[in-house]
């Protein structure tokens, strides 16, 4: 089990500036980014037992984070 936060800036280090620009100019990307941040923080709190959760919920949150990350990656590629 990893207790390392999976922040978008760490996941896409070469896209940091582009993501910052998109958060300001693109409401869809801003919503994706915020959704990712929300679920990522919930996972981190659960992993560190700040807010324990069931294994099923943890797996569901991880699937949601991965789906959001995939959607963000696709969006960034399309905006290149």
Q: Residue 4 falls within a domain, yes or no?
A: no
pLDDT of amino acid 2: 57
9 in Cβ contact with 19 (< 8 Å): yes
Tally of domains in the chain: 1
pTM score, two decimals? 0.90
Distance CA 59, CA 15 (A): 27
pLDDT truncated to tens, each residue of the chain (80 aa)? 555 679 999 999 999 999 999 999 999 999 999 999 999 999 999 999 999 999 999 999 999 999 999 999 999 999 98
Whether 2 is in a domain gets the answer no
How far is Cα 54 from Cα 40, in angstroms, rounded to an integer? 16
Q: Is residue 65 part of a domain?
A: yes
């Amino acid at each position: 089990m990893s207790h390392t936060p999976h922040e978008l800036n760490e996941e896409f280090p070469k896209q940091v500036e582009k993501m910052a620009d998109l958060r300001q100019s693109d409401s869809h990307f801003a919503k994706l980014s915020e959704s990712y941040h929300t679920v990522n923080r919930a996972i981190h709190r659960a992993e560190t037992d700040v807010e324990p959760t069931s294994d099923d919920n943890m797996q569901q949150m991880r699937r949601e984070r991965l789906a959001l990350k995939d959607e963000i990656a696709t969006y960034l590629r399309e905006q290149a």
